[in-house]
Amino acid sequence: MLQTADWIDELSNKYRLSEQAVKEETEKALSVVLTKRLGFEVEAVFNGNFELWGYKERYGDIRTMQIMPEKIKKGLMREIKYSIANALLIRSVMEDYELHKHKMKTVVYGTIIRQKSDDGFVYVYIQDIDGRNNNVAAVMDWAHQTPKERGRYMEGQTLPFYILNVKPLLLQGIPRLEVNLSRNSKGLTEGLLRKELIDKNLNIKVSCTRRLAGAFSEVEASERMPRECIKKVSDELKERVIVKW
């Protein structure tokens, strides 16, 4: 496991991390676990393969020794593998968070992949969320679904969603990135209108002041906007969009 550069490439692809990130996290995990279990300081260094160096005090002097990976017992190796996997998963989640946190309070399009009947949660797949070909799975709970749509979402259906928040968390002890969506937020109406205006190179400020999702949205605009922009959003949301300027 620790004696081949191909292993670094394999982990880099699995966790979507750079090879340098894999090396850094692996070195840290190896050093921490072995230092704790062996009772003396251990340093892991990658030089084409991983080298393990122990520093043990004896009679006031520090004795340096090389630890051969093949001499590590199976039980300890299992602990090392678990620690490395956990460290890489945490690093991957935090890098994803840094990439995606700027998407909070924006509108994205996603495809529904599953709807749970017990709690009403809807799971959504968002492709290329940040323009870098990164794809994420997101969730929309019952409270943030449009009332007349609840229980009627279909797998494969593509809809616009408002990203409420993006946060790293532990789910049953496993690091995960959670992306929460909404279909009944005022931000969805605002975001869709802004997209239409930007497409027409119009710099008009909009603010949704009131919304009853599935029925109507009331919007204030800084100036008159094209009727086709309003109609397109109204058709998308299947509700009346009332704009005042």
Kindly report the CATH number assigned to the domain that includes residue 178.
2.40.50.140
Segment 223-241 mean pLDDT: 96
| pLDDT confidence of residue 172 | 75
Contact criterion met (CB below 8 Å) for 206 and 219: yes
How many structural domains compose the chain?
A: 3
Domain boundary, last residue among 100, 135, 167: 100
90 and 117 assigned to the same domain:
no
38 and 65 assigned to the same domain:
yes
Whole-number Å distance between alpha carbons of 56 and 43: 12
Task: Please enumerate in sequence order all residues whose Cβ is within 8 A of that of 191, keeping only pairs 6 or more positions apart, or say none.
Answer: 106, 107, 160, 162
83 and 112 assigned to the same domain:
no
Whole-number Å distance between alpha carbons of 187 and 105: 7
143 and 198 assigned to the same domain:
no
pLDDT tens for each residue of 21-37? 999 999 999 999 999 99
Structure pTM?
0.79
Give the pLDDT band (50/70/90) at residue 132. Answer: low
228 and 152 assigned to the same domain:
no
Give the pLDDT band (50/70/90) at residue 60. Answer: confident
Domain boundary, last residue among 137, 164, 182: 182
50 and 70 assigned to the same domain:
yes
130 and 53 assigned to the same domain:
no
195 and 128 assigned to the same domain:
no
| pLDDT confidence of residue 222 | 96
- H or E, element range at 113: strand 107-115
109: left (phi over 0), alpha (psi -120 to 50) or beta: beta
Domain boundary, last residue among 133, 157, 182: 182
| pLDDT confidence of residue 5 | 64
Cα-to-chain-centroid distance, residue 105: 15
Residue 90 has pLDDT above 90, yes or no: yes
192 and 229 assigned to the same domain:
yes
165 and 116 assigned to the same domain:
yes
**What is the span of the domain harbouring residue 153?**
104-182
* Lowest-confidence pick of 30-39, 89-98, 171-180: 171-180
Mean pLDDT of the chain: 90
64 and 108 assigned to the same domain:
no
| pLDDT confidence of residue 4 | 63
92 and 29 assigned to the same domain:
yes
Residue 1 has pLDDT above 80, yes or no: no
Kindly report the CATH number assigned to the domain that includes residue 190.
3.30.300.20
| pLDDT confidence of residue 107 | 95
